[in-house]
Structure 1
Amino acid sequence: MLRRNFVKSTLGLAGAAIAAGDALGAAPAAKNKFKLKYASHFGMFQNSAGKDVIDQLKFMADQGFMALEDNGMMGRPVEQQEAIAKEMTRLGMEMGVFVVDKGGNGANTLAAGKKEYIDIFLNGCKKAVEVAKRVNAKWMTVVPGDFERNIPIGVQTGNVIDALRRGAEILEPHGLVMVLEPLSDSPNLFLRTSDQTYEICRGVNSKSCKILYDIYHMQKNEGRLIYNIDQTWSEIDYFQIGDEPGRKEPTTGEINYKNVFKYIYDRSKKEGKSFIMGMEHGNSKQGKEGEEALIKAYVESDNFQI
Structure 2
Amino acid sequence: MKRSEFIKSSALFGLSLTGGSSVLASGRSGSGRAEKTFNLDYAPHAGMFAAHAGDNFIDQIKFMHDQGFRSIEDNGLVKRPIALQEEIGKTLASLGMTMGVFVVDKGGNGANTLAAGKQEYIDIFLNGCRQAVEAAKRVNAKWVTVVPGDFERNLPIGIQTGNVIEALRRGAEILEPHRLIMVLEPLSDTPNLFLRNTDQTHLICKGVNSPSCKILYDIYHMQKNEGNLIPTMEKCWDEIAYIQIGDNPGRKEPTTGEINYRNLFKYIDSKGYKGVLGMEHGNSIPGKSGELALIKAYRDVDSFK
After TM superposition, the score normalised by the length of structure 2 is: 0.89
Partner of 1:151: 155
Aligned residue among 58, 63, 66 for 2:67: 63
In the alignment, structure 1 segments of 5+ residues that lack a partner are: 1-24
State the distance in 1 between where 2:204 and 2:45 align: 28
Cα 1:85–1:266 change in 2 (3 A) is same
Counterpart secondary structure, 1:187: coil
Aligned to 1:200: 204
Superposition map of 1:132-143 within 5 A:
132-143=136-147
Structure 2 residue runs without a partner (length 5+): 1-28
Shift of 1:121: 0.3
Describe the shift of the 1:192–1:282 C-alpha distance in structure 2 as closer, same or farther (beyond 3 A). Answer: same
Q: Which digits, 9 at most, give the CA deviation of each residue in 1:206-259, with x for residues without a partner?
A: 000000000000000000100111010000000000000000000000000000
Alpha carbon RMSD of aligned pairs, Å? 1.3
> How many residues align structurally?
277
Structure exhibiting the larger radius of gyration computed from Cα positions: 1
Shift of 1:275: 1.4
Distance 2:166 2:292 in 1: 46
> Hey, what's the Cα distance between the residues in 2 that align with 1:27 and 1:238?
32
| Percent identity of paired positions between Structure 1 and Structure 2 | 70
Equivalent residues of 1:27, 1:90 under 8 A apart? no
Partner of 1:165, secondary structure, is helix
Looking at structure 2, the residues matched to 207 and 27 of structure 1 have their Cα atoms a distance apart, in angstroms, of: 41
Query: Whose helix proportion is higher, 1 or 2?
Result: 1
Partner of 2:290: 290
1:68-101 deviations in Å (ceiling 9; x for gaps): 1000000000000011111111111101000001
The answer as to whether partners of 2:34 and 2:65 remain within 8 angstroms in 1 is: yes
Name 1:275's counterpart in structure 2: 275
Letter in 1 for 2:295: I
Q: Give me the TM-score of the superposition, normalised by structure 1.
A: 0.89
Partner secondary structure for residue 213 of structure 1: strand
* 1:14-29 pair list within 5 angstroms: none
CA contact (8 A) 1:103 1:142 kept: no
Q: Is the 8 A contact 1:36 1:265 kept in 2?
A: yes
Q: Is the CA contact 1:283–1:290 (under 8 Å) kept in the aligned structure 2?
A: yes
The match for 1:217 among 213, 218, 221 is 221
Cα deviation per residue 1:126-149 (whole Å; 9 max; x = unaligned)? 111000001110100000000000
Q: Distance in 2 between matches of 1:130 and 1:50?
A: 28
**C-alpha distance in 2, partners of 1:276/1:101?**
21
Q: Does structure 2 conserve the Cα–Cα contact (< 8 Å) formed by 1:103 and 1:144?
A: no
Pair 1:50–1:217, CA change in 2 (3 A): same
1:244 alignment partner in structure 2: 248
- Distance, in Å, in 2 between the alignment partners of 1:91 and 1:156 is 44
Match of 2:95 in 1: 91
**Distance (whole Å) between structure 1 residues aligned to residue 247 and residue 106 of structure 2:** 27
Q: Specify whether residues 292 and 104 from structure 1 end up closer, same or farther in structure 2 by C-alpha distance, changes over 3 A only.
A: closer
2:170 pairs with one of 141, 163, 166: 166
